[in-house]
Amino acid sequence: MPVSFKYWDDCLDPDDMRLMWADPHVSKEWTDAGEEQGQKVHLSRDPDGEAYLTQTEIMVVAAITVQRHFKSQLDPYMIGALAEIASGKRLFVDNYDRKTKETKMGIMQVTPEVAQWLGRELGYKNYDIELEDNIDLLYWPFINVYFGAAYAKWLFSCDEKERTEEFVVRAYKGGKKKATHKSSAPIFERYLYVKETLLSMRQPDSLNELAPDLLENSSTAGTQLVYWDSKVSVEDLDGMWSQPDVLKEWTNSGERRGNVRFSHDAKKRPYLSRVEVKAVAEIIISRHFSSRGVKPGSPSCSRRGVQYALCPWSTFSDRIDGNRLPYCRMAFQVMTLRLAIYLYILSKQLR
């Protein structure tokens, strides 16, 4: 086994360690086992000497991860149960798939390829494992659960379809192709048993004891989720969803109506994708400038060969970080004003 830790402190940031101790259930379990706050906490070991998480620990890691990154989007009991059926609660288990030639790692059996894809394509960049030297971070429980939960969230809307909890569980453990095959039915049965056990052990209300103030201020909390729904009107958001390219991009990213996240760059700054910028410009042109002969998507060239419909978003988006425009500068009202100024300047140039 390439990696093994003796203590929790070896695979957790100090802030995460404080969060674990702040939970009364974990604190009692650790204290009863002879651990002391301020001292290194031993990882539990099975009879074969392999490190594993107890169900109490799994639930707190899952609950913190969901509150931190997927609030109101995922069920922590689902993530906890998935972690248990994926790895048997073991931290350092590896499973090599001969067909895909990929190795599943850690408590939620995440492959480096999937984790890197989630970061590169879907914006899950709270932890950087692109470099070869960082791949072993997938053995850290919070990092592994973060990527495992992100993949489960994506499965809920993969292939542009709304998926059930049963499909997600069977696809997560057995692969998408076998998600509806009878061979994966026992996976869901096992999952339901584990989830019910976790629920009987700890009721949802008790997860509110997870020191919300400490969680909010923890340095590893990463990027705070910022939603389109909180930044634009219902009318504007409906307009975005009605754009085919936006619908495809958001659906492929696992977004749902009512919970559409902004993308984040490598520095964890929210930004608009080129597809989103184009859609915003088209909506505004259609809404405010169609009476002036400006039509979204229709080329109208000036003496300089400028396309009225294309220039606003290509100019604005190319000026900042290649093709990424910070969301805070892209309120619909601001974009409307910019387009109006831009069109006014063009009209002056044509005289």
Q: Is the pTM of this model over 0.75?
A: no
170, pLDDT greater than 80: yes
What does the pLDDT read at residue 111?
Answer: 95
Which among 61, 70, 65 has a CA at the least distance from the CA of 8? 61
**CATH architecture assignment, domain 8-202:** Orthogonal Bundle (1.10)
Q: Where in the chain is the domain with CATH 1.10.530.10?
A: 8-202
Residues 6+ apart with CB under 8 A from 336: 284, 288
The span from the CA of 159 to the CA of 202, in Å, is: 35
> What three-state secondary structure class fits 111?
coil
Angle value at C-alpha 175, between 169 and 176, nearest 5 degrees: 85
Taking only the tens place, the pLDDT of each residue in 332-350 is: 655 666 666 655 555 554 4
Span 192-228, pLDDT tens digits: 999 999 999 988 877 765 655 555 555 444 445 567 8
The per-residue pLDDT for range 46-98, each reduced to its tens digit, is 999 999 999 999 999 999 999 989 887 899 999 999 999 999 999 999 999 88
Other C-beta atoms lying within 10 Å of the C-beta of residue 121 = 12
Average pLDDT, rounded, for the chain: 79
